[in-house]
Amino acid sequence: MITYSEKERVFKLDTANTSYIIGIVDDENFIGHVYYGKKLKDIDVTYLLKTWEYPFVPSKNNRERCSFYDLFPFEYPTGGMGDYRESCFEVKTASGHFGSMLSYVSHEIINGKPKLEGLPATFGNEDECTTLKIVCEDKYIGMQVELLYTAFNDTDVITRSVKVINTGKEHFYLTKVFSACLDMDRKDFDMVSLNGSWARERHIQRKALGYGIQKVSSFRGESSHQNHPFIALVDRNTTQENGEIYAMNFVYSGNFCAQAEVSQFDYVRMSMGINTQNFCWKLESGESFQAPEVVMVYTDKGFDSMTQNFHRLYKKHLIRGQYKNKKRPVLINNWEATYFDFNTKKLLSIAQEASKLGIEMLVMDDGWFGKRSFDNCALGDWKVNEEKIEGGLKNLVDEVNKLGMKFGIWFEPEMISPDSDLYRAHPDWALAIPGRPGTESRQQFVLDLTRKEVVDCVYEQVASILRSANIEYVKWDMNRQLSNIGSYGLEADRQGEIYHRYVLAVYEMQDRLTKEFPYLLLENCSGGGARFDPGMLYFSPQIWCSDDTDAIERLEIQEGTALIYPLSTMGAHVSDCPNHAVGRVTPFETRGIVALAGTFGYELDVTRIPKEDKDMIPSQIEMYHKYNDLVREGDYYRIASYSQNHQYDCWQIVSEDKTESLVTFVQVMNRANYKSRRIILKGLDEDKKYKVVFTNVKDVEDCVYSGDTLTKAGIFIPNPWGDFKSVLIHITEV
Ligand code: GLA
C-alpha cells in the first residue's frame, strides 16, 4: 500500500482506486508533490515535477532559485524564502525572524495508524491502513517537521497531519501550521463548500475557481454554522455520478481555514489547517506541536462516490462507542415542547404519553438547573433546581425508567452566565481581555477552558449529576461563539494559544466523559449544528443537525450534511407545526419521513398535538425500527436535489449487499396538470430482481423489476396531491 523506491526517491501511497505520489528532489532534498489521482501502476513518474524545465532545480540553476521556489509543487510549503504562493507553515524565531525551508531527512513506513496526541483522528489497525512518516528539518532554526500520511484499504482516503518539534536550543513561535496541501498544475476547477447560518447550516455552494485565493474559514472558536471545514475542487463537468473531485475535510472543531489559490502559472494550491488569525504557539526547546488531521478523498466518479468514501471512513474509522453500529433509542426532547417552562409533573405527563406510543427515551433539555427559567442566567451552576424538578432528579429518572423509558439530559458545560453563582465566585474564569468589558452573546460568556481548575470544576459538576441517577444520554450544547480572547491563566506570549487550547480542552473533557460513562449516548450540539464536524464525531456518534426542524428546510440542511457525514450521525426530530423556525405547516407524515434519514426522534408536546398526528407516531416508530439498520449502515445516493431543481428532493439508501433499498421522495411544490415523475435508481445489482413497494401511496401496485431496469429505466412516482408530500419506497431482492 505504501512503497518507497530508493532509486527514484519516490513514495507511492495506494488505496483501492487512487495513488498519491511524493518525490524527493535535488541535493537539497526538497519534498515535491508528484501526483494524486486515479491509481497508477508505475512509480517512476517524477517527470511530473517538471524539474527538467526552466528554472530547473537550484543545483542546476542557482541563479533562479527564487523562481524554482515559486513554481515547485511542494508537499508542505513554507514561507519567506521565495515561494510567493500562500504557505502552509510559518515560524517566528526567538530573534523575531520569519522564513523557513524544509528538507527531507528520513522516513518510516508503519503498519496501522499512530494516534495523534490530544486530538481526535481516524483510526485503523495493521490490516486496514498503512502510514508514512516523512521527517524533514530546517537546520537553521533547529526544527523537525513530521509529515504523516495514512492510506486506507477499504476506502479511497488518505489522511494527513503534521507535527513540529523544536530540536534547537531556543524557543520559537508557530504562527501557522496547516495540516495538508495539494499543489496541482491545473486550474479548471469549481470549488464546492458548505455554508450557512444558524438554522440554515451546510447549504452546498459551487462556484468557478478564479485567480487568487478563495477560502472558507472560521474565526468563531468552533467549526461554525457559517462555514464548514470542508472544500472540494471538482472538475467543471463533475456530476453526482461522474467526474473528478479532490476533497478535504478537517478533523477539528475550532478555527479553521480551507482554501484554494490559483497562481500565475494556472496552478492550484489547495490547503487546509488551523486558522492563523490570533494563532501564535510558543514552542520551547524539546517541545512539539501536533496539528489536527485532514481527510482527503479523490475520486473520478462524482459526488456519490466522494460521499460514500467519507461515509465509509467515518462509520468504520472515526465513530466509536457502543452505539457505533447500533440503533439509537427513539427519543422525545422537551425543548420545542416546553422551552424553559416545565417541571416534574409536565415532564412525566409527556413521558407517560410518549411511552404508550413507543417512544423510548425522554430528554430533559435546557432549564433544569440553578435558577434558570430563561436564557439569562445560571450556566455554570449545574445543580438541580428542585423547585422545578420536585422530588429531585433521581426520582424523576426513576419514574421515567418505570415507564420503560431511558432518561437523557442537556448540559452546556463550556459556558458561564454573568448571573450565576460560578461567575460571582470566579469572575476571572470567563474568557476576557483584562480591563475591557466582555461581549455577551445569548447573555453568556465562554469559560476559560485553558485553565485546568476550570475544566476540573465543570467536569466534576457534570459528572456528579450523571453519577446521581440512571442517565443514559447527554446532549452537550455550546450556544455562543468565542470572542474577547484573553486568559488570566496564561502569560502574555501564550495568549495566542487560547483558541486551540480551548478546543483541546473540549476534547479532553469529552474524552473523560466517555471514559467514565462508556454506556452514555452522547449527542453534540451547538446552537443547532454549529459544531457538526469529524472532531466532535470522534466523541459522539450523533450531532444535532440544526435547530431548524421544518421538514422542508431540513432537505437542504440534511443534503449538505450528508454530502460528507453518514446519516447515522444526523440528529433529526419530528416537531410540531407551525414550525418554530419558519412557521410552515407540513404533513406529519413528511416530517417523519424526513427525520427517518437521521437519528429519528420527537421534539414536541405529545400531550397537546392533534390526535391524527399522535395516532401516526406508533407507525412512524415501527417504520424507524424496520428501516434504521439500512439507513444507518447502507450506502447513500443522491437522486435529485430540491436546492437545485426547486421542486422535489429524492435520495436512496442501498444495503452493502445490495439486497435492500429505501427511496425517499419529497415533493416540495406541486404543479397544476403535472403527471407522474420518472426517477432513475442507483446502486442496485443489475442481475438481481427486486420487489418495489410504495409504502405510503394507495393505488400503486407492488411490482418486480430487475436491478438493470431500475437503474437504467427507473420507476414512476405518481404525482402526490398537494405540497410537501412524501413517498417512501421499499425495495427488496426477490
Ligand atoms: C440550542 C440547541 C437547542 C436547545 C437550546 C436550549 O439552541 O440547539 O436544541 O437545546 O439550545 O437552550
333 C-alpha to ligand 1 centroid (Å): 10
* 364 C-beta closer than 6 A to ligand 1: no
Q: pLDDT of 286-303, one tens digit each?
A: 999 999 999 999 999 999
Give dist(CA 88, CA 70) in Å, integer.
Answer: 14
**Element at 149 (helix H, strand E):** strand 143-152
Percent of the chain with pLDDT over 90: 99
- Catalytic status, residue 381: no
Is 2.70.98.60 the CATH classification of the domain at 2-317?
yes
| pLDDT exceeds 90 at position 187 | no
Indicate yes or no: pTM above 0.95: yes
Q: CA-CA-CA-CA torsion for 227, 482, 222, 380, nearest 10 degrees? A: -140
CATH class of 639-733: mainly beta
Q: Which among 414, 478, 479, 480 is the best mutation to test ligand 1's pocket, defined by most ligand atoms within 8 Å of the CB?
A: 479
Contact between 139 and 159 under an 8 Å Cβ cutoff? The reply is no
**SS3 state at 300:** coil
**Which pairing describes strands 601-603 and 406-411: parallel, antiparallel, or unpaired?**
unpaired
For residue 410, give the ligand 1 atom closest to its CA: 10
Contact between 636 and 621 under an 8 Å Cβ cutoff? The reply is no
Give dist(CA 418, CA 424) in Å, integer.
Answer: 8
Residue with CA nearest ligand 1 atom 1: 527
Nearest to 677 by CA among 648, 651, 638, 712: 648
Q: Which CATH architecture does the domain made up of 331-416+451-479+514-628 adopt?
A: Alpha-Beta Barrel (3.20)
331 C-alpha to ligand 1 centroid (Å): 15
Q: pLDDT of 21-46, one tens digit each?
A: 999 999 999 999 999 999 999 999 99
- Classify the phi-psi angles of 453: left when phi > 0, otherwise alpha if psi is within -120 to 50, otherwise beta: alpha
Residues 6+ apart with CB under 8 A from 561: 194, 201, 202, 529, 532, 545, 570
546 C-alpha to ligand 1 centroid (Å): 9
Give dist(CA 345, CA 353) in Å, integer.
Answer: 12
Q: pLDDT of 94-141, one tens digit each?
A: 999 999 999 999 999 999 999 999 999 999 999 999 999 999 999 999
Burial of 734 per CB tally in 10 Å (0-12, 13-18, 19+): exposed
Grid cell at residue 148: 504523516
Nearest to 410 by CA among 558, 603, 234, 590: 603
547, 548, 613, 649: the catalytic one is: 547
The domain ranges of the chain are 2-317, 331-416+451-479+514-628, 639-733
444 C-alpha to ligand 1 centroid (Å): 14
Give dist(CA 559, CA 385) in Å, integer.
Answer: 39
473 C-alpha to ligand 1 centroid (Å): 15
Q: pLDDT of 350-388, one tens digit each?
A: 999 999 999 999 999 999 999 999 999 999 999 999 999
36 φ/ψ angles, rounded to the nearest 5 degrees: -145, 125
Return the pLDDT at 168.
98
Rounded (to 5) percent helix, strand, coil in the chain: 25, 35, 45
For residue 603, give the ligand 1 atom closest to its CA: 9
For residue 475, give the ligand 1 atom closest to its CA: 10
Contact between 30 and 74 under an 8 Å Cβ cutoff? The reply is yes
Q: pLDDT of 581-596, one tens digit each?
A: 999 999 999 999 999 9
- Catalytic status, residue 708: no
Residue with CA nearest ligand 1 atom 4: 335
| pLDDT exceeds 90 at position 644 | yes
Secondary structure in 3-state letters for 505-545 = HHHHHHHHHHHHCCCCEEEECECCECCCCHHHHCCCCEEEC
| Residue carrying C-alpha cell 475557481 | 209
Cα angle 84-86-89, degrees, rounded to a multiple of 5: 110
* 14 C-beta closer than 6 A to ligand 1: no
Share the mean pLDDT of the chain: 98
The pLDDT of 302-314, averaged and rounded, is 98
